């Protein structure tokens, strides 16, 4: 069995599961946010049960429109808060709140070997820790909150092998953008992606989160990494419960094996309006920008901010650019503050915000007007994603976004730092 099949099988009464098989899966953690929880709560109440199956296994994170953007946001956060209190489930209030997919692993709430379902498409982020994590809608979440189970079709697994050593300024973001451009936005539809190879072994955990986060952008159900020493080191100090590490079998069957040599890979930029519309940064020239966003569940972790600070420190954001930097959690924010990163950002002329999904989905904190262009470390650049349907979003890693913020046009960090 593949890594995905091993984890799924362990959450059923079966010894073995195969792609295409329909199974009932016991879930370890269920997640919803301020957009999806209100519907999940309403549907849960329609089922007619009083209590969630296990209050320790349900978490609610208001992160999309919180601190409350408007009255509707305030009402939705209030509904979530009251439900969480009544059900005695974990709710992260403003002040502790972070972007869900940054926050939950950081708090040790998702662990290797877990099955996690979340009413958010980027729930697949937790695959970085060797968990099977997938996004669903509010109604599925409501059913799982009541029963502790969810039905799934066992996905086929695509193995992606990355050979070689990564060049300067190249990170997990570039690997995943390159992969999506190669296989397409439905290249892994209904499948699990398993990321391996020497380039993956050298990747930091933060970079692995970035890659797993965007598995959905290739249509995948999950994107998984094997657990290694780096994972153990990350998890050990955080875990508050035991966990199991699963390994794929040597005779595991993959629906596809795709190999890349990434030694010469440049930082990548996804042009509007698809994450698959990707080019090396050197081929994206003379594109002026109005805004640069550094943050999100894709690239709002400490490593991302350190890279941005390396470029922004002692320099100035271009006078015609709004640079918005959003740490993914309070811990990331605090660490960045202690390390002096926040000071570097502010002195460079960037705006720094409390954690929120905000601009990524055109919600608040950096919505674009018609004709405006933004370089962003987020995960989607669909039409109208960040505001006006006549605006444009270019996706890139934090180094490219920071360098572009200084130059006022999309550029490689090499132009500034060599």
**Nearer to other proteins (CB atom), residue 167 or residue 184:** 184
Site for other proteins in 300-339 (CB under 8 A): none
**Nearer to other proteins (CB atom), residue 55 or residue 219:** 219
Rounded to a whole number of angstroms, the minimum distance from the CB of residue 57 to other proteins is 16
268 binds other proteins (CB under 8 A): no
**Nearer to other proteins (CB atom), residue 216 or residue 292:** 216
Specify the 3-state DSSP secondary structure of 170. coil
Specify the 3-state DSSP secondary structure of 199. helix
Measure the CA–CA gap between 361 and 371, rounded to whole angstroms.
Answer: 17
Rounded to a whole number of angstroms, the minimum distance from the CB of residue 383 to other proteins is 5
Could you tell me if 278 and 178 are in contact, meaning their C-beta atoms sit under 8 angstroms apart?
yes
The Cβ of residue 20 has, within 10 Å, a number of other Cβ atoms equal to 10
What residue has token string 């209904």? 190
Interacting residue with other proteins among 30, 133, 361, 396 (CB under 8 A):
361
Interacting residue with other proteins among 362, 366, 398, 413 (CB under 8 A):
362
Site for other proteins in 44-103 (CB under 8 A): 46-48, 64-65, 69-70, 72, 75-76
**Nearer to other proteins (CB atom), residue 199 or residue 222:** 222
DSSP 8-state symbol, 167:
-
First to last CA, the chain: 45
Site string for other proteins, 129-168 (x = CB under 8 A): ------xxxxxx-xx--xx-xxx-x---------------
Contacts 24+ apart (CB under 8 A), 65-74: 65/34, 65/35, 65/356, 65/363, 65/364, 66/34, 66/94, 66/97, 66/356, 67/94, 67/354, 67/356, 69/363, 69/364, 73/34
**Nearer to other proteins (CB atom), residue 70 or residue 251:** 70
Using CB under 8 A as the binding criterion, the count of chain residues that bind other proteins stands at 58
Looking at 106-114, 286-294, 341-349, 378-386, which segment touches other proteins (CB under 8 A)?
378-386
Interacting residue with other proteins among 11, 322, 380, 409 (CB under 8 A):
380
Rounded to a whole number of angstroms, the minimum distance from the CB of residue 253 to other proteins is 21
Rounded to a whole number of angstroms, the minimum distance from the CB of residue 110 to other proteins is 17
Closest by alpha carbon to 357, among 106, 5, 61?
61
Rounded to a whole number of angstroms, the minimum distance from the CB of residue 413 to other proteins is 29
Could you tell me if 102 and 95 are in contact, meaning their C-beta atoms sit under 8 angstroms apart?
no
Could you tell me if 238 and 248 are in contact, meaning their C-beta atoms sit under 8 angstroms apart?
no
389 binds other proteins (CB under 8 A): yes
Interacting residue with other proteins among 19, 38, 327, 328 (CB under 8 A):
38
Rounded to a whole number of angstroms, the minimum distance from the CB of residue 252 to other proteins is 22
Rounded to a whole number of angstroms, the minimum distance from the CB of residue 72 to other proteins is 5
Q: What is the residue-wise DSSP string for 34-65? A: TTTHHHHHHHHHHHT-SS-S-GGGEEEE--SS
Site string for other proteins, 197-236 (x = CB under 8 A): -------------------x--x-x---------------
39 binds other proteins (CB under 8 A): yes
Closest by alpha carbon to 226, among 364, 96, 129?
129
What residue has token string 């974990």? 90
Measure the CA–CA gap between 127 and 224, rounded to whole angstroms.
Answer: 4
Rounded to a whole number of angstroms, the minimum distance from the CB of residue 104 to other proteins is 16
Query: Please, which residues have CB within 8 angstroms of residue 120's CB and are 6 or more apart in sequence?
Result: 31, 32, 33, 35, 36, 100, 101, 135
Where does 256-415 show beta strands of DSSP type E? 256-261, 268-270, 278-280, 291-294, 322-325, 351-352, 373-376, 392-395
Interacting residue with other proteins among 172, 363, 366, 398 (CB under 8 A):
363
Q: Write down the H helix ranges in 184-328.
A: 198-201, 205-213, 229-236, 296-299, 302-312
Q: Give contact residues for other proteins (rule: CB under 8 A).
A: 22-24, 35-36, 38-39, 43, 46-48, 64-65, 69-70, 72, 75-76, 118-121, 123, 135-140, 142-143, 146-147, 149-151, 153, 185-186, 189-190, 216, 219, 221, 274, 361-363, 367, 380, 382-389
């Amino acid at each position: 069995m593949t890594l995905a099949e091993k984890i799924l099988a362990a959450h059923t009464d079966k010894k073995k599961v195969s792609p295409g098989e329909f199974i009932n899966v016991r879930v370890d953690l269920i997640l919803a946010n301020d957009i999806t929880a209100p519907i999940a709560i309403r549907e849960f109440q329609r089922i007619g049960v009083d209590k969630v199956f296990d209050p320790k296994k349900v978490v609610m994170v208001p992160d999309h429109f919180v601190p409350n953007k408007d009255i509707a946001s305030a009402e939705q956060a209030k509904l979530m808060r009251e439900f969480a209190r009544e059900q005695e489930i974990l709710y992260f209030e403003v002040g502790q709140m972070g972007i869900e997919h940054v926050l939950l692993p950081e708090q040790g709430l998702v662990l290797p070997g877990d099955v996690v379902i979340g009413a958010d498409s980027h729930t697949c982020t937790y695959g970085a820790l060797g968990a099977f994590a997938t996004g669903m809608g509010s109604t599925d979440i409501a059913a799982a909150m009541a029963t502790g189970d969810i039905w799934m079709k066992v996905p086929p697994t695509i193995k992606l092998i990355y050979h070689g050593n990564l060049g300067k300024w190249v990170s997990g973001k570039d690997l995943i953008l390159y992969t999506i451009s190669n296989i397409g936005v439905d290249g892994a539809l209904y499948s699990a992606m398993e990321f391996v190879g020497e380039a993956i072994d050298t990747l930091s955990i933060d970079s692995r989160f970035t890659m797993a986060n965007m598995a959905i952008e290739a249509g995948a159900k999950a994107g998984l990494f094997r657990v290694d020493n780096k994972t153990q080191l990350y998890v050990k100090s955080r875990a508050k419960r035991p966990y199991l590490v699963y390994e794929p079998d040597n005779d595991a069957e993959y629906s596809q094996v795709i190999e890349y040599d990434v030694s010469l890979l440049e930082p990548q930029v996804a042009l509007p309006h698809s994450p698959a519309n990707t080019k090396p940064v050197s081929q994206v020239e003379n594109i002026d920008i109005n805004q640069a966003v550094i943050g999100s569940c894709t690239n709002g972790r400490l490593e991302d901010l350190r890279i941005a600070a390396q470029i922004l420190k002692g320099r100035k954001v271009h006078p015609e650019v709004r640079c918005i930097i959003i740490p993914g959690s309070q811990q990331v924010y605090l660490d960045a503050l202690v390390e002096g990163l926040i000071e570097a950002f502010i002195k460079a002329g960037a705006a720094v915000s409390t954690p929120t999904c905000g601009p990524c989905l055109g919600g608040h904190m950096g919505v674009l007007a018609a004709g405006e262009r933004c370089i962003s470390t987020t995960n989607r650049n669909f039409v109208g994603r960040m505001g006006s349907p006549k605006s444009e979003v270019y996706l890139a890693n934090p180094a490219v976004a920071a360098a572009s913020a200084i130059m006022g046009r999309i550029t490689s960090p090499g132009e500034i730092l060599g």
